[in-house]
Amino acid sequence: MDIRLDFIFRRRSIRQYREKEIASSIIKELLEAGMSAPSAMAKDPWHFIVIRNKETLKLVAAVLPNGKMLEKSDAGFVICGDISKAHGNELSYMLQDCSAAIENILLAAPALGLGACWLGVHPRQERIDGIRKIFGLPDNIIPVAAIALGYPDEEKAPSSRYAEASVHYEKW
């Protein structure tokens, strides 16, 4: 692995966190990183719900079967898309834009000393409905994913899942 790309290979799903508060300035840096993502026609259909309250983190964890680490995280985000702002009001563009923002946050987290874990919401209707209920989302706002955030209490080595069999040159 090329050391110049270490910031990518260090992006790992961290599920164990120390009890340490994340400064508001770091939360803002993560949000800025997310909003620096590319967006189809620069529509920026994303919205970010910042969760600091432990009870709310527990409610979100209860809706996401693989989200138990949210209960121990210091903060979390729910990334939503506004379908009415997406390029052509297309779900696919909105999902791509929000996913790019999510990945930017996940890449920024270790650079800021944090661990993070992406938790899927969309397209599971029961998860969408659960998040909608917790946060009172309007109909045009679609929850896409959640991110658990905290100072890591586990270490994972940088990793690549490069697979030559998945690469095709010039044709299939």
pLDDT in tens, 18-42: 999 999 999 999 999 999 999 999 9
Rounded distance between C-alpha atoms, residue 17 and residue 114, angstroms: 9
Q: What's the pLDDT at 157? A: 94
3-state secondary structure 119-130: EECCCCHHHHHH
Q: Domain holding 106: CATH number?
A: 3.40.109.10
Domain span at residue 74 reads 24-154
Q: How many CA atoms lie within 13 A of 32 on its CB side?
A: 7
Give me the helix-helix angle, 24-34 and 91-111, nearest 10°.
Answer: 140
**Per-residue confidence at 2, pLDDT binned at 50, 70, 90?**
confident
- In this prediction, residue 43 carries a pLDDT of 98
> Percent of the chain scored above 70 by pLDDT?
100
pLDDT in tens, 99-137: 999 999 999 999 999 999 999 999 999 999 999 999 999
How many other CB atoms are found less than 10 A from the CB of residue 128?
18
Across the strands, what pairs with 152?
17
**Number of compact structural domains in the chain:** 1
> Which helix (H) or strand (E) covers residue 146, if one does?
strand 141-150
Q: Confirm whether 10 is domain-assigned.
A: no
Total residues found in the chain within this entry: 172
Scan for tokens 């045009």, then name that residue: 140
Per-residue pLDDT at 74 exceeds 80: yes
pTM of the model: 0.96
In a domain, 53, yes or no: yes
pLDDT at 53: 98
Q: Report yes or no on 46 lying in a domain.
A: yes
In a domain, 76, yes or no: yes
